[in-house]
Amino acid sequence: MPEASATQISGLRAGSGADPTATSVALVLAVWRPAYIAWGLAQLVQGPLTPPTTPTMRWRKVLGSGHNGGFGLRPAWNRLGLFCAFDHTDSARDWLARSAEVARWQDRAEQWLTVLLEPLASRGSWSGNSLAVAQADVAPPPETLVASLTRASIRPHLARRFWSLSPAAEVSLAQAPGCLFAVGLGEAPLLRQATFSLWHHQSAMDAYARSGAHLEAIRQAYSQGFFSESMFTRFRVLEIGGHWPEANLELSQRLGQGRGQEAGERLSSTV
C-alpha cells in the first residue's frame, strides 16, 4: 500500500492513539520451513488473542503476508511478521536477544529478519495504539539507514478502488532508488494492510514519497477517504540481523551474508 509523504508526517511527535508511550519497535519477519507452516498459521490465528508477553511491551501485532514480496492478493501461508511496540529501546533490544518467542520463530524459519527501530515521526494509530517520538527535533545523520511503516484499515465499500491504485505504487516502490527492502503485511486480507520498507537514507525515502504513482495513490486515499484508521511512521534503524537470501546486495552485506555464515546463524549488527 502507498506510503505517507514527508509533509504528512514531518514534525509529528506521536500518534493520536490513547497510549502513545511506546518509543521503540522490534520487528520480526519469517519464512517458515515447510514442516512449520501449520505452526505459523496457528500463530497468526492466535495473534489477536495473545497479550503483550513482557511488562515493557505496550502492544503487538501478528501479521500475515502474500505472494510477490507480500504485495500479491493471494496469501503466502509460509510468511509471517511480528510487530511489537516497547516502552524503551533497551526493552525491545533485550526482547529480541533473549525472548523464547523470538528464538522459536528463528528456529522454525528458513529465512528470518529482525529489526530494532526508533520512531522519528509518527501520525495516526493502529487499533487505537500509537507510537511516540523519543528524541524530538533530532534528525538522523544523512546516511543513516531508515525505515517506513504505512498501515491502514480500508473501508470495505472503497476497497476495490483502493486496490486499483495500489499496484502501480508498489511497482514504483520495488524499483525506487535507495530502497533496500520492502514487504507487504496485513492483519486481514484486502482490508487491514501494511507496508514496511528499509531505505539507504532519508533523502531516498523522501524522493519516493514525492514520486508519480505513489503520490497519486496518497492523494486519492485522502481525498476519497479510503481509510477508517491509519498510521504512518518513519524510523531510525538501530540494529538489523538475520538470514534472508532474498535480500539485495547492500542488505546482504549489512546482514553479513555471503561471508561464511551458516543459514539461521543469529546476527545483530548495529547500523
**Alpha carbons 134 and 238: distance in angstroms, whole number:** 14
- pLDDT number for residue 169: 64
Buried residues in 35-72 as b, exposed as e (16+ CB within 10 A): ebbeebbebbeebeeeeeebebbbbbbbbbbbeebbbe
**Alpha carbons 123 and 10: distance in angstroms, whole number:** 9
CA atoms within 13 Å, Cβ hemisphere of 7? 4
- Give pTM, 2 decimals: 0.85
- pLDDT number for residue 147: 96
Cell of 229: 484508521
List the domains of the chain with CATH numbers.
6-270 (3.30.70.100)
Buried residues in 234-265 as b, exposed as e (16+ CB within 10 A): bbbbbbbbbbbeebeeebbebbebeeeeeeee
- pLDDT number for residue 138: 67
- pLDDT number for residue 236: 95
- pLDDT number for residue 198: 95
- Is residue 126 a contact partner of residue 186, using CB atoms and an 8 Å limit? no
In order along its 271 residues, the chain shows pLDDT tens digits of 555 544 444 444 444 444 557 999 999 999 999 999 999 999 999 999 999 989 999 999 999 998 877 777 788 999 999 999 999 999 999 999 999 999 999 999 999 999 999 999 999 999 999 999 877 666 777 778 999 999 999 999 988 888 777 666 666 687 788 999 999 999 987 788 999 999 998 899 988 888 766 677 778 777 888 899 999 999 999 999 999 987 777 788 888 765 434 433 333 333 4
- pLDDT number for residue 260: 36
- pLDDT number for residue 19: 54
Terminal-residue alpha carbon distance, the chain: 27
